[in-house]
Amino acid sequence: MTTNQIVDLARASRLASVSMQSVTDEQKNEALLRIKQVLSERQEEIFKANEADKKTAEEQVKAGKLSASLFKRLDICNGDKFATILSGVSDIVHLPDPTKKVTLATKLDQDLEMYRVTVPVGVLLTIFEARPEVVVNISCLALKSGNAVILKGGKEATQTNAVLAQVIQDALASLPKTNGIPKEAVQIVETREDISALLDLDRYVDLVVPRGSNSLVRYIQNNTRIPVLGHADGICSVYLDKEADITKACRIAVDSKTNYPAACNAAETLLVHASLLEGNDKFAKVATALLNANVTLKCEENVRSFLQSTVSADLQAKVVAAVPEDFDTEFLDPIMAVKSVSDVNEAVEHINEHGSKHTDCIVTENEATSDFFTTRVDAAGCYWNASTRFADGFRYGFGAEVGVSTNKTHARGPVGLEGLVIYKYKIRGNGNIAGEYGSGKKQYLHEAIAPENYSI
The answer to whether position 349 is within a domain reads yes
Q: Rounded to an integer, what distance in angstroms lies between the CA atom of residue 322 and that of residue 405?
A: 29
My answer on whether 218 and 255 are in the same domain is no
Number of domains making up the chain = 2
My answer on whether 240 and 216 are in the same domain is no
What pLDDT, on the 0 to 100 scale, is given for residue 77? 92
My answer on whether 259 and 140 are in the same domain is no
What are the DSSP E strand ranges found in 333-420? 335-341, 359-363, 381-384, 403-405, 413-415
My answer on whether 89 and 109 are in the same domain is yes
Residue 109 is which amino acid? D
Residue 3 is which amino acid? T
The answer to whether position 424 is within a domain reads no
- Category of 371 on φ-ψ map: left (φ > 0), alpha (ψ -120 to 50) or beta: alpha
What pLDDT, on the 0 to 100 scale, is given for residue 337? 98
The whole domain housing 223 covers 3-229+410-419
The answer to whether position 213 is within a domain reads yes
What pLDDT, on the 0 to 100 scale, is given for residue 273? 98
Instruction: Give how far Cα 328 sits from Cα of 49, 171, 295, 356, 434, Å.
Output: 38, 45, 18, 9, 55
The answer to whether position 22 is within a domain reads yes
My answer on whether 100 and 57 are in the same domain is yes
Q: Rounded to an integer, what distance in angstroms lies between the CA atom of residue 96 and that of residue 38?
A: 23
Residues (pLDDT < 70) of the chain are none
Q: Rounded to an integer, what distance in angstroms lies between the CA atom of residue 31 and that of residue 147?
A: 13
My answer on whether 316 and 381 are in the same domain is yes
What pLDDT, on the 0 to 100 scale, is given for residue 349? 98
Residue 237 is which amino acid? S
My answer on whether 173 and 293 are in the same domain is no
pTM: predicted TM-score of the whole model, two decimal places: 0.84
My answer on whether 27 and 145 are in the same domain is yes
My answer on whether 263 and 204 are in the same domain is no
Mapping DSSP to helix (H, G, I), strand (E, B) and coil, where does residue 189 land?
strand
Instruction: Give how far Cα 6 sits from Cα of 11, 198, 205, 207, Å.
Output: 8, 7, 12, 17
The answer to whether position 319 is within a domain reads yes
My answer on whether 348 and 280 are in the same domain is yes
Q: What is the CATH number of the domain that holds 191?
A: 3.40.605.10
The answer to whether position 405 is within a domain reads no
The answer to whether position 264 is within a domain reads yes
My answer on whether 216 and 272 are in the same domain is no
8-state DSSP, 26: H
Q: Rounded to an integer, what distance in angstroms lies between the CA atom of residue 124 and that of residue 410?
A: 14
The answer to whether position 59 is within a domain reads yes
Task: Using only the alpha carbons of the chain, give its radius of gyration.
Answer: 25
What pLDDT, on the 0 to 100 scale, is given for residue 129? 80
